[in-house]
Structure 1
Amino acid sequence: MDHEKVNILLVDDQPAKLLAYEVILKDLGENLVIASSGREALEVLLKTEIAVILVDVCMPELDGFELAAMIREHPRFQKTAMIFISAIQVSDIDRLRGYEMGAVDYVPVPVVPEVLRAKVKVFAELYRKTRELERLNHDLEDRVRARTAELENSTAKLRESEQRRSMAIAAGNMGSWDWDWISGDWMWDEGQYRIFGVGPENFAVNPANVQALLHPDDVDQLRKAIAEFNKGTRAYETEFRIIRPDGEVRWCVGTAAATVDDSGRVVRVSGVTVDITERKRAEERQNLLAREVDHRAKNALALAQSIVRLTRADEVKAYVNAVEGRINALARVHTILSLSSWQGAELSRLIDEELAPYSLGGQILLAGPKVQLLPATAQTLALALHELFTNSAKYGALSTRSGRLAIGWQVEDQLLTLNWEESGGPLVMPPKSRGFGTRSLLASVESQLGGQAQFDWRAEGLLCRLEVPLIRKTAATNASGKFEDASSAELQRASG
């Protein structure tokens, strides 16, 4: 079998002996290195890896014992095998000295070729096996280091992945669980406990306790899931509600997957629970808003339809202007309410919007606190103010530069009182009959808002007093329980 050759150092001051050793050891097939003195042997050792040293004991300048001592002092050669060859009678004391110097064996002269060859071969093989073992150990250490580094890297990645998963679960209101189908044991993670509003220190996870936290109307979902898995279903998803110990109801979506054995029997079910309460609430708000938008759009269309149908005028242009003015007033208050997400409108904002088209400068004086109006109240009051401004601009104080208008309001016990006082305009004559604007104003304020509207057509200018409750005490309700605006119905009655 082919093997890596090792170096054998032959040290002797007699060339004839060196030649004889070469002939004897040639058949071993190793590399034979020659040194004719101890100093030359040291030089060879420093440059070459030597497996076995064959050294003559009796040499001039540096004998075999001295050379062995110098070799053993060097850390690199402390385990190098040395065989002494002695031509003189070797006593036990000489052998002991040689062993102390690091010799592993003695060969007497005359040398028996077979004995010398056998001994050198043994130590050469030992050196070779030792080197192979060292290489194997080194390779093994490298593999262990590489495997350790790989495991550490894998562990770090797993830890990082688990941290990301935990963060994602926490951020996404998620929890995970595992159910041993055979033993009935459950395992919940932190997120699962958090969703159900319980803790591992005071809640034992078992089917009875879990079922007790389910909404009574959704318990059948758990039974249905178990039945589906028993039928062979491998995955199941459903929405359900839980009732936390503090009474709070939460919406969840659960996804579960089954693990089966070789026979196809379910042995484990694992899943994820996601708290979707906020999404459900958002959907409910969206549906409510959609219904509200639909309701308000229908009312707005009904109002517009009533305005168009009931407005009277002697000519087309006047009719168009009247209709456009009333619809624009409705549009302006709609915009204000939209900006507040239909939470309400501020009274002074409504007045400012109605004043904007006139640009009357210092003719108008406003005085009053901030008052937030409900959407239905704001719509009705905006149309009433529009009728007052339109009438004043056509026939009253705002029809001339000398005219003045004072609008003041106050709130007491949730009752808004608004005073409209004109002066300095044309001479006022009480109307012989009430027009559509006046009738619609009276009908909407009194019938729809439950307030009162009083008119005093003084010669120096109109005086109007509106009293409007800020809290609706009576109102018609539709099938959904929402307040139903009565503007269009009141306009219909006003036209009569």
Structure 2
Amino acid sequence: MDQEKVNILLVDDQPAKLLAYEVILKELGENLVKASSGREALEFLLKNDVAIILVDVCMPELDGFELAAMIREHPRFQKTAMIFISAIQVSDIDRLRGYEMGAVDYVPVPVVPEVLRAKIKVFAELYRKTRQLERLNAELEDRVRARTAELEESHARLLESEQRRSLAIAAGKMGSWDWDWVNGDWMWDEGQYQILGVDPESFELTPANIQALFHPDDVHELHEAWASFAKGAKSYEAEFRIIRPNGEMRWCAGTAAASADKDGRVIRVSGVTVDITERKQAEERQTLLAREVDHRAKNALALAQSIVRLTRGENVKTYIRSVEGRINALARVHTVLSLSSWQGAEIRKLIDEELAPYSTGEQINLSGPEVQLEPATAQTIALALHELVTNSAKYGALSALSGRLAVSWENQAGLLKITWTETGGPPVGKPISRGFGTRSVIASIESQLGGRAEFDWRLEGLVCRLSVPLTRRQFTADPVPIRDVAALDGNGLLRAER
């Protein structure tokens, strides 16, 4: 590959000498630039890089010494090679002055072509090598900077990754551990200590201390893991319980993997522990909820069967309307309960749902504190309220625009007391016999919840008082059997109650 040409500046006020220098140096193959004065030489230098300056000492206006001094003052040319050509005998003092001005060599006149070419060639090669070295140095510095940037970026990514791992471990309740199978040394990270609930400063990592943290019924999992590794197993997974020093029990999932030497012997076991207590609790709740839903579905179907069999009507239309109303009451309370995952229902929301279809203007007034009802209690009260409001809409206070209904409740030491008061409606008389609605209210409140239902048939309107224990004890959540409802005072219509 052709080597890079360098600029050689020839400075002399005599064109004949410049031509002679050009002829002598032409065979070097470099870029020869001629300047007939010091000023012209300076102009070229300011615009171009020059490897060597060949300058005549004796020039008018600006001699070689003065030109050299001016060149050396410029930062770019402080290391540029300058060769002086002198036609007169140069004394030692002149040589010293030239070297002080930055000259690297002297060439006397007459010039010996071979000597001049040799000198120029040496300095040209030196300049070329120096430039190459500078470029290599710059490239090396660029590589160092790039590598340093890569290392810094890699370090930053590593720190970020470690932070994410720490966050993941903290969020996922994970811990890692390592056991040297040969010498028995243990290593736990912070997450492992947190899961086991022990202090890293005071807890000594010994097999006995670690085994003591396992639930007595799950210690066999630990023994089976070590036995499997001793037999050549490479990994082991298990779910187990631990008992923290404060007595709290936690569920954990453990995964361990063994490392072996070239002979296949286990030398190290590493693993990860995950706290899965919340997952286990969720699974238990899910199982319980599934059983509860199954239980509630059967109860609802049995209750719906009772409603269908025991409801009476003057005609098919009346019968359908009565059945649909009672089934819808069940559906509404199921909606309220489902919003709380069948954990219970707040009484005001329950009453609002049941009375909403009949609420017009300011006819209905509700008052009472927040009371949370158990699912079975909520279902029973919802059906009782439905029967009362349906009866009121047909024959009581809600059947007239002047009528008013007030529903209040209070919690008296675990006994919920609901008072249903109707006023301003048609005159009321005590019914001769009880209809299905009244009988179902009494049966469900008393037989199902162990409470009490009282009906006071005043002339100005019905007053019904329901007393229900908020904590169920010996009472079943199942609906009242059909035969029990049927046995209550005949099968009179709901309409016959008034």
Query: Shared fold by TM > 0.5?
Result: yes
| Pair 1:353-2:354 in alignment | yes
SS of residue paired to 1:3? coil
2-side partners of 1:192 and 1:27: how far apart?
81
Given candidates 448, 471, 487, the residue that maps to 2:480 is: 487
AA aligned opposite 1:251: W
CA offset at residue 138 of structure 1? 1.4
Q: Structure 1 404/279 Cα, relative in aligned 2: closer, same or farther at 3 Å?
A: closer
2-side partners of 1:218 and 1:129: how far apart?
77
CA offset at residue 128 of structure 1? 1.7
Match of 2:493 in 1: none
CA offset at residue 100 of structure 1? 1.6
Q: Structure 1 411/77 Cα, relative in aligned 2: closer, same or farther at 3 Å?
A: closer
User: For structure 1, which segment, 403-412 or 281-290, has the greater mean C-alpha deviation from structure 2 after superposition?
Assistant: 403-412
Unpaired runs of 5+ in structure 1? 476-482
User: For structure 1, which segment, 29-38 or 306-315, has the greater mean C-alpha deviation from structure 2 after superposition?
Assistant: 306-315
1-side partners of 2:389 and 2:32: how far apart?
125
1-side partners of 2:404 and 2:24: how far apart?
140
Maintained 8 Å contact 2:5/2:29: yes
Match of 2:492 in 1: none
2-side partners of 1:15 and 1:315: how far apart?
136
2-side partners of 1:230 and 1:245: how far apart?
30
CA offset at residue 137 of structure 1? 0.9
Q: Structure 1 202/489 Cα, relative in aligned 2: closer, same or farther at 3 Å?
A: farther
Maintained 8 Å contact 2:85/2:109: yes
CA offset at residue 484 of structure 1? 4.7
AA aligned opposite 1:83: I
CA offset at residue 133 of structure 1? 0.9
* Root mean square deviation, CA, Å: 4.9
Match of 2:152 in 1: 152
Q: Structure 1 465/161 Cα, relative in aligned 2: closer, same or farther at 3 Å?
A: closer
1-side partners of 2:275 and 2:407: how far apart?
53
Q: Structure 1 116/338 Cα, relative in aligned 2: closer, same or farther at 3 Å?
A: closer
1-side partners of 2:37 and 2:456: how far apart?
143
SS of residue paired to 1:487? coil
SS of residue paired to 2:278? helix
SS of residue paired to 1:137? helix
For 1:104-253, what aligned pairs fall within 5 Å after superposition?
104-177=104-177, 187-198=187-198, 200-203=200-203, 209-228=209-228, 236-253=236-253
2-side partners of 1:404 and 1:219: how far apart?
68
1-side partners of 2:97 and 2:348: how far apart?
120
AA aligned opposite 2:122: V
SS of residue paired to 1:104? strand
Maintained 8 Å contact 1:415/1:468: yes
2-side partners of 1:131 and 1:392: how far apart?
108
The superposition leaves residues 160-218 of structure 1 with CA deviations (integer Å, 9 ceiling, x where unpaired) of: 44444444443444445555556655555544444343454444556555444333333
The superposition leaves residues 127-178 of structure 1 with CA deviations (integer Å, 9 ceiling, x where unpaired) of: 2211111111111122222222333333333334444444444344444555
SS of residue paired to 1:284? helix
SS of residue paired to 2:245? coil
Q: Percent identity at matched positions?
A: 72
CA offset at residue 109 of structure 1? 4.2
Match of 2:474 in 1: 474
Maintained 8 Å contact 2:450/2:469: yes
Q: Structure 1 95/367 Cα, relative in aligned 2: closer, same or farther at 3 Å?
A: closer
Match of 2:275 in 1: 275
Q: TM-score, normalised by structure 2?
A: 0.73
Q: Structure 1 230/453 Cα, relative in aligned 2: closer, same or farther at 3 Å?
A: same
The superposition leaves residues 232-259 of structure 1 with CA deviations (integer Å, 9 ceiling, x where unpaired) of: 6555544333333333223333445556
AA aligned opposite 1:158: L
CA offset at residue 35 of structure 1? 3.9
Q: Structure 1 32/487 Cα, relative in aligned 2: closer, same or farther at 3 Å?
A: same
User: For structure 1, which segment, 246-255 or 333-342, has the greater mean C-alpha deviation from structure 2 after superposition?
Assistant: 333-342
Unpaired runs of 5+ in structure 2? 490-498
Match of 2:284 in 1: 284
2-side partners of 1:124 and 1:400: how far apart?
119
SS of residue paired to 1:246? coil
Q: Structure 1 491/154 Cα, relative in aligned 2: closer, same or farther at 3 Å?
A: same
Q: Structure 1 260/416 Cα, relative in aligned 2: closer, same or farther at 3 Å?
A: closer
2-side partners of 1:235 and 1:213: how far apart?
22
Match of 1:480 in 2: none
User: For structure 1, which segment, 233-242 or 411-420, has the greater mean C-alpha deviation from structure 2 after superposition?
Assistant: 411-420
1-side partners of 2:187 and 2:43: how far apart?
73
Maintained 8 Å contact 2:344/2:372: no
2-side partners of 1:319 and 1:9: how far apart?
121
CA offset at residue 487 of structure 1? 2.0
| Pair 1:73-2:66 in alignment | no
Q: Structure 1 163/380 Cα, relative in aligned 2: closer, same or farther at 3 Å?
A: closer
SS of residue paired to 2:103? coil
SS of residue paired to 1:70? helix
1-side partners of 2:344 and 2:222: how far apart?
41
1-side partners of 2:167 and 2:81: how far apart?
64
2-side partners of 1:419 and 1:8: how far apart?
116
2-side partners of 1:298 and 1:108: how far apart?
124
AA aligned opposite 1:213: L
SS of residue paired to 2:50? coil
Match of 1:299 in 2: 299
Q: TM-score, normalised by structure 1?
A: 0.74
- How many pairs are equivalent? 485
1-side partners of 2:404 and 2:80: how far apart?
124
Match of 1:478 in 2: none
Maintained 8 Å contact 2:354/2:382: no
Maintained 8 Å contact 1:257/1:270: yes
Q: Structure 1 250/95 Cα, relative in aligned 2: closer, same or farther at 3 Å?
A: same
Q: Structure 1 282/34 Cα, relative in aligned 2: closer, same or farther at 3 Å?
A: same
Maintained 8 Å contact 1:436/1:494: no
SS of residue paired to 2:106? strand
The superposition leaves residues 462-482 of structure 1 with CA deviations (integer Å, 9 ceiling, x where unpaired) of: 99876554444433xxxxxxx
User: For structure 1, which segment, 90-99 or 378-387, has the greater mean C-alpha deviation from structure 2 after superposition?
Assistant: 378-387
CA offset at residue 4 of structure 1? 2.4
The superposition leaves residues 290-329 of structure 1 with CA deviations (integer Å, 9 ceiling, x where unpaired) of: 1112122223333344555567899988877776676566
Q: Structure 1 286/106 Cα, relative in aligned 2: closer, same or farther at 3 Å?
A: same
AA aligned opposite 2:157: K
